[in-house]
Amino acid sequence: MVPFVDLKSQYMGIRQEILDAVAGVLDSGQYVLGSEVAAFEKEFAAFSGAAHGVAVNSGTSALHLALLTAGVGRGDEVITIPFTFVATVASIYYTGATPVFVDVDPVSYTMDAAQVEAAITPRTKAILPVHLYGQMADMDALRAIAKKHNLVLIEDAAQAHGAEYNGARAGSLGDMACFSFYPGKNLGAYGEGGMVVTNNAESARMLRMLRDWGAEKKYEHVLKGYNYRMEGVQGAILRVKLRHLEAWTEGRRQAAGWYEEMMGDAGVARPVEVSGRRHVYHVYGVMTPQRAGLMKHLNDRGVQTGIHYPIPVHLLPAYEDLGYKQGQFPVSERLANQELSLPMYPEITREHVRTVCEAVGAFAGAVPA
């Protein structure tokens, strides 16, 4: 059996470090925010090449607060992509603003910068690209557009801890960047977690207030805030795990190399690492017009797979009110129909990857192209 992900084997490798860190928080009594969370904010911001980090209780909360801090609210528009996890779009709704979609690029699967300017209106406040699967969007082009039109650029970096664009880390190129520490993400808590990083001290101050009821001093609420605080235990766990993240990312990149080497020309489109970008392979997604057949074929051979994501957000029942129709974002729609995520995690062995590649190859041999 080749599992799709294996969170438990990673935990077993760091079990004692984690237990010590958790015991430290329980002994300290700092159960919400506290010194471990503060230290993690500093360490993760530095890791991402940003000056400030504000830890929150999920990636979705990070997106919500970044948008609010950008001044996004009712009547505004935010440009994003429909081929993403629903949270990207939901966070725009939380502010009362309207999501406006542009399609993704067929090679990188990230926001097609060439389509952004046509989507800008007088109501546009921000651009929210997604570093999908762990590869960064075309930040040079998006930064230029944001600057020209005076828009705030917010990175959805929930899948891209440690990814790079011409040597700059995810988190260092937008006005703000939002990370998720959901357990399955490249850096995962043992519970929920998220962070906004930014180089802007004023934004960081506002984010800190908004996550904790809009107050800097207890009971002096200057903003209408939220309870989006990170738990102390998660901060301590994430500090331990951050120390291993580079090695884990290299494990993922090595596995991607094995897939590249052993899959051969098996009739599926493998992910492309665009020149100048460091892909961190949160998801290893291949594209095939015969997804259902390949998925069943792999499952029958003990290879677990996933789909990220089967329905683009503009076609989800929940977002019907946006009024988009089938056919409006052809690349997103094709990818949603064709994407199959193969097993990918830092500890995956070369033998596991070989098993997957042989199973994919056997399917290609069995089905006319």
Q: List the one residue from 54, 55, 66, 87 that touches ligand PLP (CB under 6 A).
A: 87
Tell me how far, at minimum, the Cβ of 85 lies from ligand PLP, in Å.
Answer: 4
Contacts (Cβ under 8 Å, ≥6 apart) of 348: 2, 6, 251, 255
Tell me how far, at minimum, the Cβ of 368 lies from ligand PLP, in Å.
Answer: 35
Do residues 125 and 104 touch, judged by C-beta distance below 8 A?
no
Q: How far apart are CA 171 and CA 219, in angstroms?
A: 32
Query: Segment near ligand PLP (CB under 6 A), from 46-54, 80-88, 286-294, 361-369?
Result: 80-88
Tell me how far, at minimum, the Cβ of 283 lies from ligand PLP, in Å.
Answer: 9
The residue sitting closest to ligand PLP, measured at its beta carbon, is 59
Determine, following the binding rule CB under 6 A, whether residue 85 of this chain makes contact with ligand PLP.
Answer: yes
Which residue, 155 or 333, is less far from ligand PLP as judged by CB?
Answer: 155
Residue with tokens 């399609």: 103
Which residue, 186 or 290, is less far from ligand PLP as judged by CB?
Answer: 186
Q: List the one residue from 130, 210, 233, 303 that touches ligand PLP (CB under 6 A).
A: 130
Determine, following the binding rule CB under 6 A, whether residue 341 of this chain makes contact with ligand PLP.
Answer: no
Q: List the one residue from 10, 124, 172, 180 that touches ligand PLP (CB under 6 A).
A: 180
Q: List the one residue from 101, 165, 182, 258 that touches ligand PLP (CB under 6 A).
A: 182
Determine, following the binding rule CB under 6 A, whether residue 124 of this chain makes contact with ligand PLP.
Answer: no
Tell me how far, at minimum, the Cβ of 90 lies from ligand PLP, in Å.
Answer: 9
Residue in 131, 135, 134, 146 with CA at minimum distance from that of residue 79: 146
Q: List the one residue from 69, 84, 199, 341 that touches ligand PLP (CB under 6 A).
A: 84
Q: List the one residue from 158, 236, 268, 335 that touches ligand PLP (CB under 6 A).
A: 158
Q: List the one residue from 10, 30, 80, 88 that touches ligand PLP (CB under 6 A).
A: 88
For residue 202 the two structure tokens come to 């004023």
Q: How far apart are CA 338 and CA 343, in angstroms?
A: 16
| Phi, psi torsion values for 111, nearest 5 degrees | -50, 130
Determine, following the binding rule CB under 6 A, whether residue 245 of this chain makes contact with ligand PLP.
Answer: no
Count of residues in contact with ligand PLP, rule CB under 6 A: 14
Which residue, 84 or 198, is less far from ligand PLP as judged by CB?
Answer: 84
Contacts (Cβ under 8 Å, ≥6 apart) of 265: none
Contacts (Cβ under 8 Å, ≥6 apart) of 149: 117, 120, 124
- Residue 5's Cβ-side half-sphere holds a number of Cα atoms within 13 Å equal to 16
Residue in 356, 330, 329, 361 with CA at minimum distance from that of residue 341: 356
Query: Segment near ligand PLP (CB under 6 A), from 13-21, 56-64, 107-115, 198-206?
Result: 56-64
Do residues 72 and 99 touch, judged by C-beta distance below 8 A?
no
Query: Segment near ligand PLP (CB under 6 A), from 70-78, 92-100, 154-162, 352-360?
Result: 154-162
Determine, following the binding rule CB under 6 A, whether residue 231 of this chain makes contact with ligand PLP.
Answer: no
- Residue 359's Cβ-side half-sphere holds a number of Cα atoms within 13 Å equal to 23
Is the backbone of residue 84 left (phi > 0), alpha (psi -120 to 50) or beta?
beta
Largest CA distance in the chain: 68
Q: How far apart are CA 100 and CA 89, in angstroms?
A: 9
Q: Which residues bind ligand PLP (CB under 6 A)?
A: 58-60, 84-85, 87-88, 130, 156, 158-159, 180, 182, 194
